[in-house]
Copies of this chain bind each other. A is one copy, B any other.
Amino acid sequence: MSGNVIACQGTEGAYSQLAAKKLFPDGSFLYFRNFEAVATAVREDLCEFGVLPIENNTYGSVRDVYRILARQEVSIVRGCRLQIRHQLLANPGAVMSGIRKVYSHEQGLGQCAKFLHTLGDKVSLVPCLNTAVAARMVAESGDMEAAAISSPECADLYGLTVLKRGIADSDHNYTRFLCIAKESCVLPGADRISLIFTLPHRPGALACVLGKFADADMNLLKLESAPIPGRDFEFLFYADVEGSVNDPAVSAILEEIRGMCPDYRFLGNYHEI
């Protein structure tokens, strides 16, 4: 995919844009205030594609994005998994022993808690809207006592230097992103199917749906229940299963499941890079 205009949430250099760049190396990017605006830009043909985060291995699913996918008429056409590599960035000439303020998104601060602890009590932490905003704030301030926890790409983007790499508590920190389009489209190699459904009020209803997938050897890649707003003891399920709707056995199983569920939405069939 190339030459497309891609809708992203946030700021240049934020992880959403890094994911969009991984999916569309030659794309141009338009930035929107929130996830809803990204989906609206795609639905109203302002952008051909949009990129949205759907799950972080530490923080879980982005339920706001699921809600948008359930409601807006857009389809998932690709996915990507981005490793989050936090680094400590500062203005050129700054030294580690002089740092007194660390800016980052709250999750960035949380994910580097052990490293931040080694800096001692003299350092204050400043939560920002995202990690790219943190880097920009440090750059614009020119403050030699300030540093940002941000992506390596933001060092180049905002003229900062890397004070320390690999500062996250865990190496296994990644976020899954989805690429959405207005029209449903199954690209070659699509092997992941995303669904949202509700179940009838019957013990064993979920076991029955999962049994269908198992009978067809469709591996379950993700399953999550989420309360339905305003209905206290009812749940939506988000499920990802392996398979291609071009396989008649798979589409027959999906049709069967659609028939079993009071609400059912096929979000897309796509490949994750």
**A residues touching B (Cβ–Cβ < 8 Å)?**
34, 57-61, 63-64, 106, 110, 113, 127-129, 170-172, 203-204, 206-208, 210-211, 213-215, 217-227, 229-230, 233, 235
CA distance A217 to B170 in the complex (A): 40
Chain B residues positioned under 8 Å from A224 (CB to CB): 60, 223-225
Assess A203 versus B223: contact at CB under 8 Å? Given A60-B63, A127-B129: no
Name 8 A/B residue pairs within 8 A (Cβ), A-sorted.
A57-B227, A60-B61, A60-B224, A106-B127, A203-B219, A207-B214, A211-B211, A224-B224
Q: Cα distance A226–B34 when bound, in Å? A: 25
With A63-B59, A63-B60, A113-B34 as known contacts, state yes or no: A230 contacts B127, CB within 8 Å: no
Q: B227 and A225: CB pair below 8 A?
A: no
Residue of B nearest to A215 (CB): B204
Min CB distance A156 to B, Å, is 26
CB < 8 Å neighbour of A214 from B61, B204, B213: B204
CB-CB under 8 A from A213, the residues of chain B are 203, 207
Q: Which of B64, B170, B206, B222 contacts A225 (CB 8 A)?
A: B222
Contact A210 B214 (CB under 8 A): no
Residues of B within 8 A of A230 (CB): 171-172
- Select from chain B the residue with minimum beta-carbon distance to A133: B127
- Which of A60, A170, A223, A233 has the most chain B CB within a 10 Å cutoff? A60
